[in-house]
Structure 1
């Protein structure tokens, strides 16, 4: 499983070609909503990651 630094590097490489000129203009309230959505998504991913780690541990124990 890739570590977080490797995952971050790979994600940055994929969006490298995107420039600020390609990004739409957002109002401050739009940005606040986007940040909130990203935080919620991050927590969801962390929960999924923990669930996967626990499942992996159970699998390793059962072998």
Structure 2
């Protein structure tokens, strides 16, 4: 489990909980998208690293 990815998802949830879809400002909702993108990137990077480590000779 990647603690940074978990934190990014938690941040997205926090921003989403406090953002209102009725609010005219798009900035809070863009933050949610950004944190989800960060979490996805971190998880994918971990998967690539795990594959690379598994390919190393023992």
TM-score by length of 1: 0.50
Larger radius of gyration: 1
Deviating beyond 3 angstroms after TM superposition, the runs of 4 or more aligned structure 1 residues are none
Deviations 1:1-58 (CA, angstroms, capped at 9, x unpaired): xxxxxxxxxxxxxxxxxxxxxxxxxx52x11111100000000000000000000001
**What are the ranges of 5 or more consecutive residues in structure 1 without an aligned counterpart?**
1-26
**What are the ranges of 5 or more consecutive residues in structure 2 without an aligned counterpart?**
1-23
**Number of residue pairs matched by the alignment:** 35
TM-score by length of 2: 0.54
State the Cα RMSD in Å.
1.5
